[in-house]
């Protein structure tokens, strides 16, 4: 069976699952599916997405950025995070040697496919400890509801 079916029991994410399964089949099972928009390795910022009963939560790992310069927008079910991180590594000179330059520098843009049912009108974005947390509440109609089973004598 598809392991992702077991991992993501939520019906709400059916479409996302299907897409991820296709990606997994293309690139081989890696334990964890990745987004079609993040197939390339090492995209900045790294993004994790999860859902609770109340909201869709996106975490973008973007350290060292002025939150005022982060642009977050939602359009047609796609979340876009854009911004720029300045390069703080000075030029090499006689007195200065640069041994490693692994940290991302420059402008970036990430696009994330939101699960169905996310309400783009009420998006909440908080930047803390270098992580941008975007919380999008679910629309009332897509929240999990308990249906009571009546007993008929």
Tokens 């993004």 locate to 47
- Specify the residue, 70 or 82, whose C-beta has the smaller distance to other proteins: 70
Which residues is 56 bridged to in the sheet?
Answer: 51, 136
80 binds other proteins (CB under 8 A): no
Tokens 């927008």 locate to 73
136 binds other proteins (CB under 8 A): no
d(CA 17, CA 78): 16
53 binds other proteins (CB under 8 A): yes
25 binds other proteins (CB under 8 A): no
Tokens 């598809």 locate to 2
Chain Cα centroid distance, residue 150: 40
d(CA 82, CA 46): 12
Residue 13 beta carbon to other proteins: minimum distance, rounded to whole angstroms: 6
Residue 139 beta carbon to other proteins: minimum distance, rounded to whole angstroms: 17
143 binds other proteins (CB under 8 A): no
Out of 99, 121, 147, 152, the only residue in the binding site for other proteins (CB under 8 A) is 99
Residue 107 beta carbon to other proteins: minimum distance, rounded to whole angstroms: 17
Residue 4: helix, strand or coil by DSSP?
helix
C-alpha to C-alpha distances, 17 to 63, 69, 76, 93, nearest whole angstrom? 29, 33, 19, 51
Where do contacts with other proteins occur on this chain (CB under 8 A)? 7-10, 13, 16, 20, 31-35, 38, 43, 45-53, 56-57, 59, 61-65, 88-90, 95-104, 115, 127, 129-131, 133
């Amino acid at each position: 069976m598809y392991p992702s079916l077991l991992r993501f029991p939520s019906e709400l994410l059916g479409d996302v699952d299907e897409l991820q399964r296709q990606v997994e089949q293309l690139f081989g099972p890696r334990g964890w599916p990745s987004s079609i928009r993040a197939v390339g390795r090492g995209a900045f910022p790294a993004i994790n997405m999860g859902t609770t009963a109340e909201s869709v939560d996106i975490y973008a790992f973007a350290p060292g950025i002025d939150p005022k310069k982060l642009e977050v927008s939602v359009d047609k079910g796609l979340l876009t995070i854009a911004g720029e991180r300045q390069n703080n590594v000075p030029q090499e000179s006689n007195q200065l040697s640069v041994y490693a330059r692994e940290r991302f520098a420059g402008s970036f843009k990430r696009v994330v496919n939101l699960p169905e049912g996310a309400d783009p009108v009420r998006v909440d974005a908080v930047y803390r400890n270098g992580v941008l947390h975007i919380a999008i509440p679910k629309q009332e109609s897509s929240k999990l509801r308990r249906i009571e089973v009546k007993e008929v004598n």
